[in-house]
C-alpha cells in the first residue's frame, strides 16, 4: 500500500523498535501518533522526528496496561480529528528467570500489555479502518512465538498469542481492505534486554547476538506494505523459526531452555 500521506499510530514508541519504526515511517511521509507512558521520551522523539523528517507527530501519553485502553486511545485520537490508517501494536515487555522467582503482578502486567492491549486496540480501531479500506495493522511478535521458552515462559506465550491472532485476522480481513501482519524479530539491541533484570542474560545463546532496531524497522515497512501474515526478521531467525515448526515441541522446549538458561534467577527491574 502507498504510505505517503497516511497516518500511523505506533505504541511503545518512546524507544527501541517503536522509535525506529516511527522514524522510518516519517521518512516515508507518514503522519504519526506516538503512544507510550513517558511524556518526556515521547516529546524528545517527536522533536527529533520533526527536525529530521519534517513530520510533526501527535503525542499521547497512556499506560496500555489499563483496562479499556483501546477505547481511551480511540477517544483521544478522534478528539484530535485523526483517522488512523496504519496501526502498529509494538508496546510490550518481558520477564526473565525461573518462573517461581518472578513477581506475579509483573507476569499479569505482561499479559495485559502484550496480549490485552493488542486485542483492545485492534478491536477499537478496526471498524474505522474497515470503513476506509487500504489500511494495515502490524503486531510486533517475536521468534519466541515459535516454541516454548523456559525462563521466559510467559513472554513467549504472549508472543505465540500475538502471532496466532495476527495470522487469523490476516485470513479474516484480507479481502476487506485491511492487511494484518505479525513481525517476528529475534533479540534486538534495545532497552528491552536491560529491563529483563539479569546482566547475565546477554551471555545466553539467545541474547549474545542482536539485531539493530533499524533493521527491524525496515522489515516493518515491508510487512505494512502487504504480503503474507508472518514476517521473520533475519535469515538465521527465519531458519530457526521454520525448523521449530517441524521439530517435536518437547525437544524445542529443551533446546530453547538450554539457550536461555540464566546464570542467576532474576526478574524485571
DSSP 86-126: EEEE-------S-GGGS-HHHHHHHHIIIIIHHHHHHHHHH
Beta strand 58-61 with 86-89: parallel, antiparallel or unpaired? unpaired
Q: Which residues pair with 2 in a beta bridge?
A: none
pLDDT exceeds 70 at position 102: yes
Q: What is the pLDDT of residues 113-123, one digit of tens each?
A: 999 999 999 99
Question: What pLDDT is stored for residue 209 in this prediction?
Answer: 79
**What cell does 144 get?**
519466541
What's the Rg (C-alpha) of the chain? 18
Give the three cell numbers for residue 196: 529483563
Q: Identify the DSSP state of 65.
A: T
> Which is the catalytic residue, given 146, 155, 170, 207?
155
Q: Binning pLDDT at 50, 70 and 90, where does residue 265 land?
A: very low
What letter would DSSP give residue 144?
G
Enumerate the domain spans of the chain.
7-260
Is 96 marked active-site?
no
**Alpha carbons 14 and 214: distance in angstroms, whole number:** 15
Please, is 172 exposed, middle or buried when counting C-beta atoms within 10 Å of its C-beta (0-12, 13-18, 19+)? exposed
Q: How confident is the model at residue 268 (pLDDT cuts 50, 70, 90)?
A: very low
pLDDT band at 263 (very low <50, low <70, confident <90, very high): low
Convert the pLDDT of each residue in 202-258 to its tens digit: 778 778 778 899 999 999 999 999 999 999 998 888 998 888 889 999 999 999 999
Is the CB of residue 143 less than 8 Å from the CB of residue 184? yes
Q: Give me the pLDDT at residue 189, please.
A: 86
pTM of the model: 0.93
CA angle 242, 185, 260 (to 5 degrees): 80
Place of cell 527529533: 48
Give the fold, CATH level 3, of 7-260.
Rossmann fold (3.40.50)
Please give the Cα distance from 229 to 90 (Å, whole number). 16
Amino acid at each position: 500500500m502507498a504510505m505517503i500521506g497516511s497516518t500511523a499510530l505506533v505504541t511503545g514508541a518512546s524507544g527501541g523498535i517503536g522509535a525506529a519504526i516511527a522514524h522510518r515511517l516519517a521518512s516515508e511521509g507518514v503522519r504519526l501518533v506516538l503512544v507510550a507512558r513517558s511524556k518526556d521520551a515521547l516529546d524528545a522523539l517527536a522533536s527529533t522526528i520533526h527536525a529530521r523528517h519534517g513530520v510533526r507527530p501527535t503525542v499521547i501519553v497512556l499506560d496500555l496496561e489499563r483496562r479499556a485502553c483501546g477505547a481511551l486511545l480511540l477517544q483521544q485520537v478522534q478528539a484530535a480529528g485523526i483517522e488512523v490508517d496504519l496501526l502498529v501494536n509494538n508496546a510490550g515487555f518481558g520477564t526473565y528467570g525461573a518462573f517461581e522467582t518472578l513477581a506475579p503482578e509483573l507476569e499479569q502486567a505482561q499479559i495485559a500489555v502484550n496480549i490485552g492491549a493488542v486485542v483492545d486496540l485492534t478491536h477499537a480501531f478496526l471498524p474505522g479502518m474497515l470503513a476506509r479500506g487500504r489500511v494495515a495493522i502490524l503486531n510486533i511478535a517475536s521468534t519466541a512465538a515459535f516454541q516454548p521458552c523456559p525462563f521466559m515462559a510467559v513472554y513467549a506465550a504472549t508472543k505465540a498469542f500475538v502471532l496466532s491472532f495476527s495470522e487469523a485476522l490476516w485470513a479474516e480481513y484480507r479481502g476487506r481492505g485491511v492487511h494484518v501482519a505479525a513481525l517476528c524479530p529475534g533479540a534486538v539491541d534495545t532497552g528491552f534486554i536491560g529491563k529483563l533484570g539479569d546482566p547475565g542474560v546477554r551471555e545466553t545463546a539467545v541474547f549474545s547476538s542482536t539485531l539493530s532496531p533499524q533493521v527491524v524497522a525496515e522489515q516493518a515497512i515491508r510487512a505494512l506494505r502487504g504480503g503474507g501474515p508472518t514476517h521473520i526478521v533475519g535469515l538465521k531467525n527465519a531458519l530457526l523459526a521454520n525448523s521449530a515448526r517441524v521439530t517435536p515441541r518437547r525437544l524445542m522446549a529443551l533446546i530453547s531452555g538450554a539457550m536461555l538458561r540464566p546464570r542467576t534467577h532474576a526478574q524485571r527491574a
